[in-house]
């Protein structure tokens, strides 16, 4: 009989060296740690959705082309028919599938991304034997921006297959300057690299790159319905040049979107204005939260175009614990990157939750 050690030895060493993606138990907390929309669907829509889901044939596999859902997404996100579309089980899955598609046996293939940015880019590279190069952002007075000369130099040096540009960025929250984005997309194009603009936070942003697909043939635009208010249903989508998307779609598991997700997203997109007005509400309360944070002593909030605010505190760890003791769960980013020392990531909640957060911060008694 095999012993325990030899069984574990079957798992790749780099996976054994990894720590699992940790999601804390939020039961009983005001949950401001995961960039979720704090508002649910209105009761009348919930009832209609229940009916729609009840009518779904759970005994049948999905139709792998997902034509009806793709049509709705194209209309909603204004993706011209000339471009290809790929659906993922969350954009997390799309990120993994991209790494899988570019990974080449016996050849060094590189993904390049700014840092700090979304952790899944690195994870997907590691799991697919893809080299991962990070280029530090530069901190400005108000936010974090691309270091364009460093990005362009790194692209020329490493000749990546793919460059990620999260817009707005997680965990810093801001949009990168348009001219800087253009410079990096162009630098990527010059070495034949795909430039993936990750618009996970698009509902809260000022600008989208979807309309610029025709301008850059190396541009892919990735979105998700998660931050809009459907994080639980798991649907991401990505648009780009049709021939590229045809190839990428080959690595997608044929039934990766389940029939309930398909039906739920289809239904909610028929009522997209409800989620859009919630997003508008979140943008408005973000401004109130930002203002409240700015008024607190020794707190520096960074400009946000997302549904969260990254803020630096005098003592991030102590503030995180003090908030937790008061029943508020946020995300401690202090150890994620030296640039995020003492930083917490605060999701924008309801007006009441934001008020509770500001009150708790004022009451922590920390300097
Ligand atoms: N991209 C970015 C920048 C994110 O912050 C996230 C989620 N935190 C995702 C992609 C993944 O989103 P999902 O898998 O929920 O679609």
Same domain, yes or no: 236 and 88: yes
Neighbours of 3 (CB within 10 A): 8
Asked whether 37 lines ligand 1 (CB < 6 A), one says no
Asked whether 236 lines ligand 1 (CB < 6 A), one says yes
Asked whether 123 lines ligand 1 (CB < 6 A), one says no
Last residue of a domain, one of 210, 241, 270: 270
Q: Would you say residue 6 lies in a domain? A: no
Last residue of a domain, one of 251, 270, 289: 270
Q: Evaluate if residue 329 carries a pLDDT over 70.
A: yes
Same domain, yes or no: 118 and 260: yes
Residue nearest to atom 2 of ligand 1 (CA): 200
Contact 261, 251 (CB under 8 A): no
Q: Name 182's Cβ contacts closer than 8 Å, sequence gap at least 6.
A: none
Q: Would you say residue 103 lies in a domain? A: yes
Q: Would you say residue 183 lies in a domain? A: yes
The arithmetic mean of pLDDT across residues 204-228, rounded, is: 97
Closest CA to 183 of 220, 211, 156, 210: 156
Range of the domain at 314: 23-43+273-363
201: CA distance to ligand 1 center in Å?
8
Contact 311, 301 (CB under 8 A): yes
The whole-number pLDDT of residue 19 equals: 86
What secondary structure does DSSP assign to 25-49, as a single string?
--TTSEE-SS--------HHHHHHH
The residue among 306 and 298 whose pLDDT is bigger is: 306
State how many domains the chain has: 2
Same domain, yes or no: 31 and 177: no
Residue nearest to atom 1 of ligand 1 (CA): 200
CA angle 285, 289, 292 (to 5 degrees): 140
Q: Would you say residue 286 lies in a domain? A: yes
Asked whether 36 lines ligand 1 (CB < 6 A), one says no
Same domain, yes or no: 96 and 241: yes
The arithmetic mean of pLDDT across residues 25-30, rounded, is: 92
Specify the CATH number for the domain of residue 93. Answer: 3.40.640.10
Q: Evaluate if residue 1 carries a pLDDT over 70.
A: no
Same domain, yes or no: 260 and 282: no
What does the block give as tokens for 229? 């208010």
CA 264 to chain CA mean position, Å? 21
Same domain, yes or no: 265 and 280: no
Same domain, yes or no: 170 and 82: yes
Q: What are phi and psi of 61, to 5 degrees?
A: -65, 155
Specify the CATH number for the domain of residue 309. Answer: 3.90.1150.10
Q: Evaluate if residue 2 carries a pLDDT over 70.
A: no
Same domain, yes or no: 89 and 194: yes
Atom of ligand 1 minimally distant from the CA of 227? 15
Same domain, yes or no: 130 and 201: yes
Q: Would you say residue 301 lies in a domain? A: yes
Same domain, yes or no: 303 and 167: no
Q: Would you say residue 8 lies in a domain? A: no
Q: Evaluate if residue 361 carries a pLDDT over 70.
A: yes
91: CA distance to ligand 1 center in Å?
6
32: CA distance to ligand 1 center in Å?
16
Of 4-18, 213-227, 234-248, the least confident:
4-18
Same domain, yes or no: 206 and 244: yes
Q: Evaluate if residue 5 carries a pLDDT over 90.
A: no
Q: Would you say residue 289 lies in a domain? A: yes
Last residue of a domain, one of 247, 270, 293: 270
Strand order in the sheet with 236-241: 83-88, 236-241, 219-224, 194-198, 162-166, 110-115, 131-136
The whole-number pLDDT of residue 99 equals: 98
Atom of ligand 1 minimally distant from the CA of 225? 16
200: CA distance to ligand 1 center in Å?
6
**Structure confidence by residue, pLDDT tens digits, 233-278:** 999 999 999 999 999 999 999 999 999 999 999 999 999 999 999 9
The whole-number pLDDT of residue 22 equals: 79
pLDDT band (50, 70, 90) for residue 24: confident
Closest CA to 86 of 237, 282, 214, 289: 237
Q: What is the pTM of this model?
A: 0.96
What secondary structure does DSSP assign to 133-168, as a single string?
EEEE-EE-SSSEE--HHHHHHHHHHH--SEEEEESS
Q: Evaluate if residue 54 carries a pLDDT over 90.
A: yes
Same domain, yes or no: 204 and 322: no
The alpha helices in the chain, defined as continuous H runs, are 4-8, 13-16, 43-54, 67-77, 90-102, 119-127, 148-158, 178-190, 242-249, 259-270, 272-295, 316-325, 351-363
CA 158 to chain CA mean position, Å? 25
Residue nearest to atom 5 of ligand 1 (CA): 170
Q: Would you say residue 140 lies in a domain? A: yes
Asked whether 114 lines ligand 1 (CB < 6 A), one says no
């Amino acid at each position: 009989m095999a012993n325990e050690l030899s069984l574990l030895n079957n798992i790749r060493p780099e996976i054994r060296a990894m720590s699992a993606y940790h999601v804390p138990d939020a039961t009983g907390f005001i949950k401001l740690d995961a960039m979720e929309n704090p508002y649910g669907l209105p009761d009348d829509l919930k009832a209609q959705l229940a009916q729609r889901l009840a009518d779904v044939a759970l005994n049948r596999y999905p139709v792998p082309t997902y034509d009806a859902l793709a049509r709705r997404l194209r209309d909603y996100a204004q993706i011209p028919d000339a471009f290809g579309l790929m659906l993922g089980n969350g954009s997390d899955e799309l990120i993994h599938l991209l790494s899988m598609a570019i990974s080449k046996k016996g050849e060094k293939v590189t993904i390049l991304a700014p840092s700090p940015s979304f952790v899944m880019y690195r994870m997907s590279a590691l799991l697919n034997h893809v080299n991962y190069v990070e280029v530090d952002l530069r901190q400005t007075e108000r936010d974090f921006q691309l270091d364009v000369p460093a990005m362009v130099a790194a692209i020329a040096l490493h000749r990546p297959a793919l460059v990620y540009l999260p817009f707005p960025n997680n965990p810093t929250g801001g949009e990168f300057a348009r001219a800087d984005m253009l410079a990096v997309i162009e630098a990527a194009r010059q070495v034949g690299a795909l430039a993936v603009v990750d618009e996970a936070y698009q509902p809260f942003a000022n600008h989208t790159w979807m309309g610029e697909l025709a301008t850059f043939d190396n541009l892919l635009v990735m979105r998700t319905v998660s931050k809009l208010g459907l994080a639980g249903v798991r649907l991401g989508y990505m648009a780009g040049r049709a021939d590229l998307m045809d190839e990428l779609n080959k690595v997608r598991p044929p039934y990766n979107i389940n029939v309930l997700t398909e039906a739920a997203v289809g239904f909610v997109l028929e009522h997209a204005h409800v989620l859009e007005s919630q997003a508008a509400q979140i943008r408005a309360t973000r401004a109130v939260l930002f203002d409240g944070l700015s008024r607190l002593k020794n707190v520096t909030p960074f400009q946000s175009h997302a549904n969260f605010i990254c803020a630096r505190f005098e003592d991030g760890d102590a503030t995180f614990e003090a908030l937790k003791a008061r029943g508020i769960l946020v995300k401690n980013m202090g150890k994620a990157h030296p640039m995020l020392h003492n930083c917490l990531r605060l999701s924008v909640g309801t007006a009441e939750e934001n008020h509770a957060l500001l009150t708790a911060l004022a009451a922590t008694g920390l300097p």
